[in-house]
Amino acid sequence: MAAPAPTTQQEMRRRNLARVLHAVADGGPLSRAAVATRIGLTRTAVSTLVDELLGAGLLVELGPGRSGTPGRPGTALALSDRGPCGIGAEIGVDHLAVCAVDLRGEVRARIAVDAVNRDSAPGPVLRRLASLVREVAEEVRGAGLHPAGLAVAVPGLIARGTTTVVQAPNLGWTDLDLAPHLRGDVLGTAGAAVCAVDNEANLGALAELWLGDHTPSPEDFVHVSAEIGIGAAIVVGGELLRGTRGFAGELGHVPVRPEGRPCACGGVGCLEQYAGEEAVLRAAGLDPRAMAAGHPGPGARMDLLAGRAEAGDRAVRRALDEAGTALGTALTGTVNLLDPQTVVLGGALARLAPWLLPSLERELDRRIAGPPPVVVSRLGPDGPLLGAAHSVVRAVLDDPLAQRA
Amino acid sequence: MAAPAPTTQQEMRRRNLARVLHAVADGGPLSRAAVATRIGLTRTAVSTLVDELLGAGLLVELGPGRSGTPGRPGTALALSDRGPCGIGAEIGVDHLAVCAVDLRGEVRARIAVDAVNRDSAPGPVLRRLASLVREVAEEVRGAGLHPAGLAVAVPGLIARGTTTVVQAPNLGWTDLDLAPHLRGDVLGTAGAAVCAVDNEANLGALAELWLGDHTPSPEDFVHVSAEIGIGAAIVVGGELLRGTRGFAGELGHVPVRPEGRPCACGGVGCLEQYAGEEAVLRAAGLDPRAMAAGHPGPGARMDLLAGRAEAGDRAVRRALDEAGTALGTALTGTVNLLDPQTVVLGGALARLAPWLLPSLERELDRRIAGPPPVVVSRLGPDGPLLGAAHSVVRAVLDDPLAQRA
């Protein structure tokens, strides 16, 4: 079927409400007239939609001001900073984090704690996360906001369209549905609240799409990140490419030395064996287990590597140079298959970019005529957490009526 | 913007007309009542839309018959076999082909001729193609059809959304806009007629999507084909993934032996050097130039290889086994990145599947836990030509009003 919905008045109204909200989100504050111009509807039609959104507490009037178009001043409309907000959570291998983001995109509360989640029993980890979520929800409720939903970033494979972790190797979790642990009373809201679970690399890429400061914002990119493993996410036309099962973006298991080192995944010569955190530590002459014990916490080993590289440590620099080459080989295949506009290095990899990029770009140049630029994300390691919270906010903007159900 | 059009009555009507046509295309003949049930509109609304489509000559009434739903019989609606039709054309390295497909998907005319298009001057090739197009258009006009547009399959990179061949290495064409050569009087229709140019691998994949007989029809697949080079096309959610410039699907230049043979593209160890036609001929101890001279025509060398493999030729079988392994390595990366539902071997590769598949699947199994099935297309080498003609038919079904402009 090439001709999708909407086809009813009800659906058309729902879409137009979303268009008004997005217009204000992208260009606000705006007058009713400016909104009408932006979305190509009559001012009368827009006024009806705006009244409904004001009534629902999603928009507020800032009082008379200059409209975005020539003519008489109109009342400026803005997204509410007291309406619904999104709660994002992140389960890292060695940390937990929760934040709340309002409709305007402002972070209104944030908690992060160190934790030992590697090979953990899920129950205690999820109970601790739920308690952090409750804490953040209470804090924002005090500021007049109400949580519209929760999205959780997990370093693992999530079955598409579900809340089930199929496999999170570093947590040691398999076939685990997180929803029963995190739904309902955790947010202190009605059962209708969104509860979503997604791969951390996916949410990091969405954060880059929604919050990245590259101009023009690329609609087609490959986002490469790393915590312990190497993850990637593919954005095409402004949408995540999820794959049939939800497992797309497994760049870490692209073969780069087809007859090389065996990988924990069962394969041979996977990128992770040449550019993953453990591989880089080992190549630099460091013991991954000792390093993990001595330098716990999110990004701690990557920070250590960056510090040593900065100080001129030759073994570390050589190890990062080799990792960059391996990344370049894997990305050559990726670029040939997907023809992206840019490649973005995000998460902990962004921190290491100064020592990865030269060999990575050399490898791309050697193999591809006119490769796309490789850019470094400025979101840092908070990408997945912010992406999670913003995904809830986007769900509200995309379907404002659902909030009132 | 997450809230797309349509937002006006006019756009809604246009979409609903398309939905009626697609419902009849997918399930016809259907009564008005059955159409209404399928697309979820009232029977009154559907009758108005149907009347308009009857008037435009896109639908016809077959006379009273059983409707698709229980109840009284209704007049059955079918797509017209005398309305608009799509013209598809293919520029191969050693052939030209043109066909016409009606709204019902029937091939109504077809011409194919051998040609020596390698390293050719474009003018004479395109003049010859235009003359074949005119011949086919005249033939179908005699049967009461009128050509709604022309789509051309080319073995090369086409700039996205344009009719410009950026590079077709085997034809020796660069930066060539085909539209001025093929527009207007070629079809003998008004200037509004569609004239599209697309990569042959893309059109082959679309043919598989629209006409393939795999059940359920996969919406997410990688289609691998070969003429002289190795091409692939990626279908995600029933849509082609085109890439930023339109160059996605270059599987032939994914590195499979990163420090291996130099490739004509400037890279090193590309798949094409291990599984392309020339590489396989050479690995089988045959001289590619002599073979090309002695066995011209579309798929002729592939047919020869298949014949020899069938007869038990050890060198050919070993060469195909090695090519299958290289394909498997490249597809391992592809599957990890895209998580497709299936991999489809199409075009000339389908012919060679019996000798490629064992090593290809062995390689996937060795590197991926639970790889997707690899299936063989039954469309054969006609895929790109059929895909081209059907793409014009789909454009008519998707926007029936445009026909009357």
Average pLDDT score over residue span A63-72? 52
Alpha-carbon gap, residue B89 to A337, rounded angstroms: 25
Give chain A's mean pLDDT. 89
pLDDT of A134 higher than 70: yes
What's residue B189's pLDDT? 59
**CB proximity under 8 Å: A 211-270 to B:** 220, 232, 234, 236, 241-251, 253-258, 265-268
Is residue B16 less than 8 Å (CB to CB) from chain A?
yes
- From the candidate CATH numbers 1.10.10.10, 1.25.40.10, 3.40.50.880, 1.10.150.20, the one assigned to the domain spanning B9-79: 1.10.10.10
Range with lowest mean pLDDT among A50-54, A327-331, B129-133, B294-298? B294-298
CATH class of the B84-204+384-404 domain in this structure: alpha beta
Range with lowest mean pLDDT among A177-191, B59-73, B266-280? B59-73
Residue A185 has a CB neighbour count (10 Å cut-off) of: 9
Mutation for A interface: B38, B166, B251, B336, most A CBs within 10 A = B336
Alpha-carbon gap, residue A402 to A247, rounded angstroms: 28
What's residue A306's pLDDT? 94
Answer whether A250 sits within 8 Å of B339, measured CB to CB.
yes
- What is the token pair recorded at B70? 């229980």
Alpha-carbon gap, residue B99 to B93, rounded angstroms: 18
Average pLDDT score over residue span A52-60? 92
- What is the token pair recorded at B196? 């599209």
Quick one: closest CA in B to A254, which residue?
B333
Answer whether A244 sits within 8 Å of B220, measured CB to CB.
yes
**CB proximity under 8 Å: A 319-358 to B:** 329-330, 332-334, 336-341
Distance from CA of A398 to the nearest CA of B (A): 6
Say which residues have a Cβ less than 8 Å from residue A356's Cβ, sequence separation at least 6.
A320, A321, A323, A324, A327, A345, A349
- Per residue, the 3-state secondary structure of B309-340, as one string, reads HHCCCHHHHHHHHHHHHHHHHHHHHHHHHHCC
- What is the token pair recorded at A260? 């090389």
In DSSP notation, A5-72 reads S--SHHHHHHHHHHHHHHHHHHH-SB-HHHHHHHHT--HHHHHHHHHHHHHTTSEEEEEEE--SSSSS
- What is the token pair recorded at A61? 């009037």
pLDDT of A333 higher than 60: yes
CB < 8 Å to A3, chain B? 15-16, 18-19, 22, 398
Answer whether B338 sits within 8 Å of A39, measured CB to CB.
no
Length of chain A, in residues: 405
Residue with tokens 């990637």: A232
Answer whether A250 sits within 8 Å of B337, measured CB to CB.
yes
In DSSP notation, A275-311 reads HSHHHHHHHTT--HHHHHHHS-STTHHHHHHHHHHHT
Cis peptide before A262 (omega within 30 of 0): no
Range with lowest mean pLDDT among A162-171, B224-233, B362-371? B224-233
Quick one: closest CA in A to B399, which residue?
A3
pTM for the model stands at 0.90
Q: Amino acid identity of A283?
A: A
Distance from CA of B278 to the nearest CA of A (A): 20
For A213-378, which CATH superfamily applies? ATPase, nucleotide binding domain (3.30.420.40)
Alpha-carbon gap, residue A93 to A170, rounded angstroms: 7
Alpha-carbon gap, residue B44 to B50, rounded angstroms: 10
Q: Do domains A9-79 and A85-204+384-404 have the same CATH topology?
A: no
Range with lowest mean pLDDT among A65-69, A264-268, A292-296? A65-69
Whole-complex ipTM: 0.90
CB < 8 Å to A333, chain B? 254-255, 330, 333-334, 337
Do A207 and A223 contact (CB within 8 A), yes or no?
A: no
What's residue B94's pLDDT? 86
pLDDT tens digits for B158-211?
Answer: 999 999 999 998 899 999 999 888 876 667 654 446 689 999 999 999 999 999
| DSSP strands (E only) in B242-373 | 342-345
Alpha-carbon gap, residue A243 to B221, rounded angstroms: 10
Is residue B398 less than 8 Å (CB to CB) from chain A?
yes
Q: How many CA atoms lie within 13 A of A234 on its CB side?
A: 27
What's residue B2's pLDDT? 36
| Percentage with pLDDT > 90 across chain B | 69
Is residue A11 less than 8 Å (CB to CB) from chain B?
no
Question: What CA–CA distances, in Å, run from A322 to A260, A285, A318?
Answer: 14, 13, 6
pLDDT tens digits for B255-292?
Answer: 999 999 999 889 999 999 999 999 999 999 999 888 88
pLDDT of B298 higher than 80: no
Distance of CA A326 to the CA centre of its chain: 25
- Residue A362: pLDDT band with limits 50, 70, 90: very high
Instruction: Report how many Cβ contacts below 8 Å link chain A to chain B.
Output: 167
Answer whether A255 sits within 8 Å of B332, measured CB to CB.
yes
CATH numeric code, A85-204+384-404: 3.30.420.40
Residue with tokens 């094409």: B272
Alpha-carbon gap, residue B109 to B135, rounded angstroms: 9
CB < 8 Å to B395, chain A? none
Say which residues have a Cβ less than 8 Å from residue A354's Cβ, sequence separation at least 6.
A309
In DSSP notation, B130-166 reads HHHHHHHHHHHHHTT-EEEEEEEEESSEE-TTSSEEE
Residue with tokens 């159900």: A405
Quick one: closest CA in B to A17, which residue?
B3
- Buried b / exposed e across A296-314, counting CB within 10 Å, b at 16+? bebbbbbbbbbebbeeebe
> Which of B39, B250, B333 has the CB atom closest to A254's CB atom?
B333
> Which of A18, A333, A339 has the CB atom closest to B243's CB atom?
A339
B290: left (phi over 0), alpha (psi -120 to 50) or beta: alpha
What's residue B6's pLDDT? 46
- Residue B295: pLDDT band with limits 50, 70, 90: confident
Q: Give the start-to-end residue ranges of the domains of chain A.
A: 9-79, 85-204+384-404, 213-378
pLDDT of A2 higher than 80: no
Mutation for B interface: A254, A394, A399, most B CBs within 10 A = A254
CB < 8 Å to A157, chain B? none
In DSSP notation, B166-191 reads EEETTTTEEEEE-HHHHSGGGTTS-T
Cis peptide before A29 (omega within 30 of 0): yes
Closest CA to B279 of B306, B297, B313, B302: B302
Is residue B372 less than 8 Å (CB to CB) from chain A?
yes
What's residue A302's pLDDT? 87
